[in-house]
Structure 1
Amino acid sequence: MTALQAVALYASLNLLLLALLSVPIGLNRNRKKIDLGDGNDIEMTALIRGHGNAAEWIPGALIGLFLLASLGIGTLIIHLLGLAFTLARGAHAYAFFTKQTTGPGRIFGAGLTLLVYIAIALLLLWKALA
């Protein structure tokens, strides 16, 4: 597997996660008759923010991984970063699916997401200045 193929793997997994996060929003909109926004419903607010949070973080990581692969970072590094990021986003999403939005899954997911972002940023800076 090449580095770009590894990026494609983690892109597909994270895009599927984004799609999966949208399902309960649609189901709850239909069940609760909420056409737009959260309808002042705390469950809808949490679901929307869980999806929104993923939509905010996933694109940047995938762009970073793509740039790293394009700049010659090895497949192993892409796998390490991609797997860590995917696990982080999965843990964060799981917290929203289980309605444990203040629990360890969310803390672990947010923390690991940030660490991976920093690692990607530093590697990109190193490759840009090399």
Structure 2
Amino acid sequence: MHQFIMPVITPLYAGLCGLLLLGLSFLVSRQRLRSKVSTGDGGIPALAGAVRAHGNFVEYVPLALVLILLVEMADQAELTVHLMGAALVLGRFLHAYGISTHPGGKSFGRMWGTVLTWLVILLASLKLIVWSIIRMTAA
């Protein structure tokens, strides 16, 4: 029987992501009030950027955090978990800044935020697949 050990690293990054989500939510609400648009983006670039930054965050962060949590629970090195968590938070911040300030075009933040987020998801996924295969073949 396995004993459950509460992860201690992933909650830190989940908390930071929670604060970032609240910040993005605030920016959407502020733009909606300024623009007097209750749904959609009203064709207003600043509102469209805020909505996309928020939406993109919500699309990627939950799975990334679950993957990081599972990596931590699979007894992976603490440094690995910290690097993944930090890369996720940095990536999401860069992406949110980039898409909010350049809603219709390319930006450094948008590109590198996406790259960092995708790398975290890719590396965590591969680590978990390899870990699972090793565990299944050892049993």
TM-score after normalising by structure 1: 0.91
Deviation, structure 1 residue 74: 2.1
Q: What 5-or-longer segments of structure 2 have no aligned partner?
A: 135-139
Moved over 3 A (4+): none
The answer to whether the aligner puts 1:64 opposite 2:67 as a matched pair is yes
Report what 2:85 is aligned to: 82
Q: Distance in 2 between matches of 1:69 and 1:50?
A: 27
The answer to whether the aligner puts 1:121 opposite 2:125 as a matched pair is yes
Deviation, structure 1 residue 89: 1.0
Report what 2:111 is aligned to: 107
After superposition, the C-alpha distances for 1:5-53 in whole angstroms (9 at most, x for unaligned) are 1101111111111111111110111121111111222221111011100
Tell me the number of residue pairs that the alignment of Structure 1 and Structure 2 aligns. 128
Question: CA RMSD, aligned part only?
Answer: 1.6
Identity of aligned residues (%): 34
Whether contact under 8 Å (2:31, 2:50) holds in the other structure is: no
Deviation, structure 1 residue 3: 8.3
Larger radius of gyration: 2
1:4 aligned counterpart, secondary structure? coil
Higher relative contact order (CA 8 A, sep 6+): 1
After superposition, the C-alpha distances for 1:54-95 in whole angstroms (9 at most, x for unaligned) are 111100110001111122112111001111111111111121
The answer to whether the aligner puts 1:25 opposite 2:33 as a matched pair is no
Q: Distance in 2 between matches of 1:3 and 1:119?
A: 22
Q: Distance in 2 between matches of 1:105 and 1:31?
A: 25
Q: Distance in 2 between matches of 1:115 and 1:57?
A: 12
Whether contact under 8 Å (2:49, 2:102) holds in the other structure is: no
Q: What 5-or-longer segments of structure 1 have no aligned partner?
A: none
TM-score after normalising by structure 2: 0.85
Amino acid in structure 2 at the alignment position of 1:44: L
Report what 2:98 is aligned to: 95
Q: Distance in 2 between matches of 1:5 and 1:41?
A: 42
Whether contact under 8 Å (2:94, 2:110) holds in the other structure is: yes
